[in-house]
Structure 1
Amino acid sequence: MNGKGDSIGKFELSRQVLFLDFDGVLHRLAAVRTRRGIASTSPSIRLFEFAPILVECLAPYGEVKIVLSTSWVHHLGYQRAKNALPPVLSERVVGATYHSKYFDAEMWPSRARGTQILRYVLTHRLTSWLAIDDEIVGFGDYLSHVVICDENVGLGDLRTQDSLRTGLSEQFG
């Protein structure tokens, strides 16, 4: 990826990671790829509409890095997905669960999101991590590490915001 955070060592063992999905989390519902780029599925939905909420929640946790666990990486590539985020979030991104160099691009989307994330957690020997996602399949016994979003409201839901604050405090506080 970017050289930082991809080697396994003492940095990895102590690194604090937030796995971030975009669709159903940072904005409601899913986005679609068009000839002009990525667009929301409804004119009433603004992409990344809830990014300011995530920025606010992460503010007390300056050491937390973001690993993209969104299908945007598979469809657009790592750099374009990372650059789609507001700069204050993008500068925290250190990697992604998907990398075309290591994974069969055709098989990857069929793997459960939890499976993708747990593979990254185990490969990088992470101990402090949290995922924000609207999918829970594949997390098994690690659901305590997941802030579950309803895809219809994402981080716009106050209870989900409370769950995120609690999860951040428990994992990184």
Structure 2
Amino acid sequence: MTQVVLFLDFDGVLHPDGEAALDENFRLLPNPNLFCWKGLLHEILEPHPEVQIIVSSDWRRFFDDENLVRLLGPLGSRFAGVVETLGSPRSQEILGEAARRSIERWVALDDHVSVHEAAKEDCRFIACDPRLGVSKPETQKALCKGLLAFWCRQPSFASRESEPEGCQVKAFIQRGDM
């Protein structure tokens, strides 16, 4: 089966943006809200064992590969490295990394402003609401649709309007969020 890559941000995707994460010495804080949606992403990806994760998050600057794998928990076995390009807008870093590695089948989950802009033209970019990340049902649908497009041999999945067949949306609402 052909490899598919998920370029993955952490803040605003696996937990709400703005969660306290690191202390003044760049050590991880014991915040139970960090990575609160990684189990949800694990469930969504479970039927797709060929999906590998490349971390595009700024966390790649503070943690080595071994610690990123640990932080990803059940997703850690999918870890395929980090985006090595630094300094460009996030969307350009992702495009550069895909080109550098000759990755043709990929999607990116990110809340960065450049990804929101890129998503208007390229549906491989899935822009997340920084407060809801992958817990938002529309984001889950977009991810499922993007992944299913590779197996259905669809050349494009530009339309975000239709419901992808076979997509299990794992609606996840934290108490007190609404």
Q: TM-score range by the shorter chain?
A: 0.7 to 0.9
TM superposition score normalised by structure 1 = 0.75
Alignment partner of 1:85 is 2:72: yes
Unaligned runs of 5+ in 2: 153-178
CA RMSD in angstroms, aligned pairs only: 2.4
State the 1:30 CA deviation. 3.4
Alignment partner of 1:66 is 2:91: no
**Residues in 2 aligned to 1:74 and 1:52: alpha-carbon distance in whole angstroms:** 23
Partner of 2:95: 118
Q: What SS class does the counterpart of residue 84 from structure 1 fall into?
A: helix
Greater share of residues in helix: 1
Q: When the two structures are aligned, how many residues end up with a matched partner?
A: 148
CA change 1:53–1:96 in 2 (3 A) is same
TM superposition score normalised by structure 2 = 0.73
10, 33, 39: which one pairs with 1:52? 39
Greater share of residues in strand: 1
State the 1:124 CA deviation. 1.1
CA change 1:144–1:36 in 2 (3 A) is closer
Name which structure has the greater RCO, CA cutoff 8 Å, separation 6+: 1
74, 77, 82: which one pairs with 1:96? 82
State the 1:37 CA deviation. 2.2
C-alpha distance after superposition, 1:81-136 (max 9, x if no partner): 222111x20011011102xxxx6xxxx2x421111111111011111101100025
Query: Following superposition, which runs of at least 4 residues in structure 1 exceed 3 angstroms of deviation?
Result: 138-142
Partner of 1:23: 11
Alignment partner of 1:75 is 2:69: no
CA change 1:122–1:140 in 2 (3 A) is farther
